[in-house]
Structure 1
């Protein structure tokens, strides 16, 4: 069971991070109009290398979201940010919604 659509009132655009090249990071094609719940709150989180960094936005979206760390995200207010960490929330066999949580710069 996925998180209900009525709990995802915001729309974001994601450019999935693919790799680094000689010219900098490369991204996949932008995916627009992704339903999400965006919370603009400052929090301390750990990045993929284990360092403590500051997150200024947290995003909840449907399970299976293609948004690896370092992906570019355009928030509903037009601000562009990068994904710091991504955590899938699943509970196989339990009657709770599955979702993906993204912490963004």
Structure 2
């Protein structure tokens, strides 16, 4: 039905399309990885901020507000709060 030249041309076009699709996938994969890394850095900073707040800022703020056993219980509770581990919801390839 097709001549050899036409078949070769069609195959060449298909191969070029495959290569273009592969290139697009690589670019998008890289973009997703960059988004994931950026978001993880932001989440890490947020984790640290929340941890610092629970370990130093809140106990200092509660110092004058609570007295006696309530004050000690609040300090102990805040001291025992573990650091969060937030992970990026972006799934990489």
Greater relative CO, 1 or 2 (CA 8 Å, sep 6+)? 2
Fold match, TM over 0.5? no
Which of the pair is proportionally richer in strand?
1
Structure whose CA Rg is larger: 2
TM superposition score normalised by structure 2: 0.20
TM superposition score normalised by structure 1: 0.18
Which of the pair is proportionally richer in helix?
2
